[in-house]
Amino acid sequence: MMAPQFVAPYRKSDKNDHNDAEAICEAFGRPNMRFVPIKTEEQQTVLMVHRVRSLMVGERTSLVNQIRGLLSEFGIVLPQGRCHVRSQLPGILEDAENELPVVAREVFANQYERLCDLDRKIGEYDKRIEALAQADENAKRLMTLEGVGPITATALIATVGDVRTFKNSRQFSAWLGLVTRQGSTVGRARHGRITKRGDVYLRTLLIHGARAVMRYLMNKDVQKGKWVKAVRARRGFNKAAVALAAKHARILWAMLAKGSEYRPTLA
């Protein structure tokens, strides 16, 4: 399989079946063409679990924001965060002195039940992903790296498949969109923001994991902690998190491509 954006430049005229077929044949014969491996049923199944869970997480976030917004219209302001809504909403519904209309109380009660149901379903999917990770030896090895849990490990293995399709760890990091965009010309190297190419979900997981690791390492006198502090001092927290995510991507590639264990002293 070939990515459509790599085939389009070889189409000479308007898009139709004949021109598309001609462009595919032309692109297929190019020595530097990149091909996309076909995913197995097992990979598709794991990714399906991730997509359904991700959809429910987004729905839960939207629901929490809606509840907070509607409460604020009645003069009740809750702090940001799902835990505050989950813990304080029952008390608000039982408080007879806040002058909430009866219909509003019923609507908020239904929204609260929906929120609890989403929490329960997401928890079930978390357990399912945990079981998938524990059944995969590669996933268990990847989880020895800080910031990589069952969700990231199973998503990476299911998305990438055989990491040896990438020549090296740098190419893998670039595929994830964790490298800077280049605009070099006349011998001048110009680097901008990260390219954000590749799988958005996987890149997001790696960056979120890197942020969590940064908070943990800031007070640790270890080699990686010193590196994180130095990058953060130069570039700020967010750029340091992306840099750490790129570093983790390279480590994960090496662990999968070479079948090696994670060695913190070399990180």
DSSP H or E stretch at residue 185: none
132-157 confidence digits (pLDDT tens): 999 999 999 999 999 999 999 999 99
Query: Quick check: 231 pLDDT over 70?
Result: yes
**Average pLDDT, integer, range 51-74:** 97
Q: Check residue 211 and give its pLDDT.
A: 95
Q: Check residue 149 and give its pLDDT.
A: 96
- pTM: predicted TM-score of the whole model, two decimal places: 0.85
Q: Check residue 193 and give its pLDDT.
A: 76
232-254 confidence digits (pLDDT tens): 999 999 999 999 999 999 999 99
How would residue 184 be classed by pLDDT, with cut points 50, 70 and 90?
low
Task: Provide the CB-side half-sphere exposure for 234 (13 A, CA).
Answer: 7
Which of 35-39, 156-160, 226-230 holds the top average pLDDT?
156-160
Question: Phi-psi category of 186—alpha, beta or left, where left has phi over 0 and alpha has psi -120 to 50?
Answer: left
What's at 27, amino acid-wise? Answer: A
Dig out the tokens for 96 from the structure. 């007879």
Is pLDDT larger for residue 251 or for residue 191? 251
| Listed residue (82, 78, 79) closest to 57, CA to CA | 82
| Listed residue (87, 80, 47) closest to 64, CA to CA | 80
Dig out the tokens for 15 from the structure. 């898009």
Query: Quick check: 42 pLDDT over 70?
Result: yes
Portion of the chain with pLDDT greater than 90, in percent: 65
Q: What value, to the nearest 5°, has the Cα angle with vertex 80 and ends 76 and 86?
A: 75
DSSP H or E stretch at residue 253: helix 237-258
Question: Where exactly are the structural domains of the chain?
Answer: 1-36, 41-134, 140-184+191-266
Dmax (CA) for the chain in angstroms is 75
Query: Quick check: 190 pLDDT over 70?
Result: no
Query: Quick check: 31 pLDDT over 80?
Result: no
197-213 confidence digits (pLDDT tens): 888 999 999 999 999 99
In this predicted structure, which of 106-120, 161-175, 220-234 has the lowest mean pLDDT? Answer: 220-234
Is pLDDT larger for residue 35 or for residue 138? 138
What residue has token string 């085939």? 7
Query: Quick check: 45 pLDDT over 80?
Result: yes
Q: Check residue 1 and give its pLDDT.
A: 74
Q: Check residue 6 and give its pLDDT.
A: 72
